[in-house]
Structure 1
Amino acid sequence: MTGRPTGRPTGTDPLAEISGLSLGPVSGGPPVLHDADLAVPRGRVLGVVGRSGSGKSSLAYSLLGHVRPGLEVRAGTVRVAGLDPFDREHARRLRGRVVSYLGQDPASSLNPALRIGTQIAEAVRLRSGATRAHEVRARVEELLLSVRLPADREFRRRLPRQVSGGQAQRVGLALALAGAPGLLVLDEPTSGLDTVLADGMRGLLAEVLSDGDRAALLVSHDPSWIASVADEVIRLDAGRITGAGAPKAPRPAPPSPAGAPTAV
């Protein structure tokens, strides 16, 4: 079969699908994303790599029904769980519940005046429907442990300025998981982390995604890091998908959880 390369895996119904998507400046000019196709089936991890300015983040944002200021959708469709994330009502039903996002600097999205536990609890109430105090607290503790953070009262009462960069990254991931979304969109999840913390995030993501039901789209400028996490990798160049296929390095098996949560 000939034609442009796509990120479309075969043989599995996709949880998210992009078809012929083109984005460009409202004022006109060359597109920043041109005729992109991809699909993310349940239980699969799709990596997106490319140089800065290649359109990676624009592609990721589209799964949340978002385009950067100054850009517009010129053509194509986006569907997540069969719904259009650019439709306001559909977006309300999808965001945080079906699809959730973790950006490059999760610490900047944390409210500096609210304690870590309070922020996660608010996300749980908003996205999961839990209202009873003991249910919310149990879910907060479960989320913190799932991202290898302490779940004790002392840690839950910390303010964002009282946690390290690596811990803030994990708190951001806990917030993204609060509504038990089926699809995680992670944009440069290791940005600003040193090699040790980046390796820790890789293992953590492997654990979070190991149940086989949740899908993920991971954006990174680091092909080797993506190859160690993703089932399939697509490459973007100047807004076009120029390659797709299995990662060059095999995915490692998820590490066995340590006895105590990591607090780095």
Structure 2
Amino acid sequence: MSDLLLEVKDLRVSFKTYAGLVQAVRGVNFTLKKGETLAIVGESGSGKSVTANALMRLIPQPPGQYDGGEILLNGVNILDKTEDEMTGIRGKDIAMIFQDPMTALNPTIRVGNQIVEAIRIHDKKISREAAEKRAIELLDEVGIPMPEKRFKQYPHEFSGGMRQRVVIAIALAAEPKLLIADEPTTALDVTIQAQIIELMKEIQKKNENSIIFITHDLGVVANIADKVAVMYAGQIVEYGDVNEIFYNPKHPYTWGLLGSMPDLESNDQDELYTIPGAPPNLISPPKGDAFAARNRYAMAIDYVKEPPMYKVKENHYAKTWLLHPDSPKVEVPAVIQKRINRFLEAEGGATND
């Protein structure tokens, strides 16, 4: 029996706007095994959240549209499913943890009733009493103290971190095998972020869920991910095991992301690394490598021909002409390598073990 849970093949998503067709996701490919965590990272506008919503079939149509590809969940292409069929899949097979818990929760309904509703949608035979008991158990599982009391309270009576725990409880209500977390810690302070990350790791260990974690925070990636997909301009430009991405990055965009990480050890003499320029307009994506205009190592071919996805190792791929056998040998810039080394030392290594 295969341990492959999700396979995304050549996924393409666009949006019709007054200015033209925005090609938000342009041929995305990745796989996810059972019990595995994939982090999708990149700047705002890189296509991370559109990819996440596409996996849930939450792209509004119109203005959005699926232009091609497959999303195979347990071998079945969910892009072929009707909306009624997707209603049964969402929550039960795939669940989503959204970025802002205050907008994910209904402010007029007690949190316990919101969890009960999520349970009973996918289990028509369960009694109200049994669903309430399970909801209280879920509140306890996600670390909310006095769950019986909290069951009867409204979202505004919870702190931001506790509201996010409620959202996680709702996501777990139907025991899905795949959790998609779209920047679930962005609105929280650093201490609470760490608690939520630890909670998700505990949940995964207990329930053997697979997780797709959408984030721009590479500290989160180092702590939770097994695999990393680096997105830029609607494409995955580097993909591999978390240790490969941190210790052996190959794409200049990945270098830029790693070099831009906050570093408490920096001093006045250290160069602050930034990625020059801005992402391209995806109404008319540039010819060749989309990152060429911001890449200080770009070659003539980068402006005329899109690079293939080169295999670095068995579990590591990168989409850059710098990996062509005839290209000049370019190493990670010293200023970036120094910052990466300090980051890895502070994090205790890029591993979620």
Deviates more, 1:74-83 or 1:58-67: 74-83
Higher RCO, Cα 8 Å, sep 6+: 1
Q: 1:18 aligns with which of 8, 12, 37?
A: 8
**TM-fit CA distance, 1:15:** 1.3
Deviates more, 1:24-33 or 1:34-43: 24-33
Identity %: 30
* Pairing 1:176-215 to 2, within 5 Å after superposition: 176-211=171-206, 213-215=208-210
Whole-angstrom distance in 1 between the partners of 2:179 and 2:225: 13
Whole-angstrom distance in 1 between the partners of 2:124 and 2:198: 30
Unmatched 5+ stretches in structure 2? 247-348
2:136: which partner in 1? 141
Q: 2:29 aligns with which of 21, 34, 37?
A: 37
Pairwise CA RMSD? 1.9
**TM-fit CA distance, 1:130:** 5.0
Q: Does 1:60 align with 2:52?
A: yes
Whole-angstrom distance in 1 between the partners of 2:57 and 2:179: 14
**TM-fit CA distance, 1:252:** 4.0
Normalising by structure 1, we get a TM-score of: 0.86
Q: Which has the higher helix share?
A: 2
Q: Is the 8 A contact 2:140 2:147 kept in 1?
A: no
2:280: which partner in 1? none
Highest Rg: 1 or 2? 2
**TM-fit CA distance, 1:212:** 6.3
1:251: which partner in 2? 351
**TM-fit CA distance, 1:142:** 1.6
Normalising by structure 2, we get a TM-score of: 0.65
1:172: which partner in 2? 167
The change in CA–CA distance for 1:184 and 1:101 in structure 2 (over 3 A counts) is: same
Whole-angstrom distance in 1 between the partners of 2:127 and 2:88: 22
The change in CA–CA distance for 1:90 and 1:83 in structure 2 (over 3 A counts) is: farther
The change in CA–CA distance for 1:74 and 1:114 in structure 2 (over 3 A counts) is: same
Whole-angstrom distance in 2 between the partners of 1:214 and 1:239: 26
**TM-fit CA distance, 1:140:** 0.9
**TM-fit CA distance, 1:39:** 1.2
Q: 1:79 aligns with which of 72, 91, 112?
A: 72
1:200-234 per-residue CA deviation (whole Å, 9 max, x = no partner) reads 11100100111363111010011221221011011
Whole-angstrom distance in 2 between the partners of 1:30 and 1:117: 40
The change in CA–CA distance for 1:151 and 1:120 in structure 2 (over 3 A counts) is: farther
The change in CA–CA distance for 1:243 and 1:212 in structure 2 (over 3 A counts) is: farther
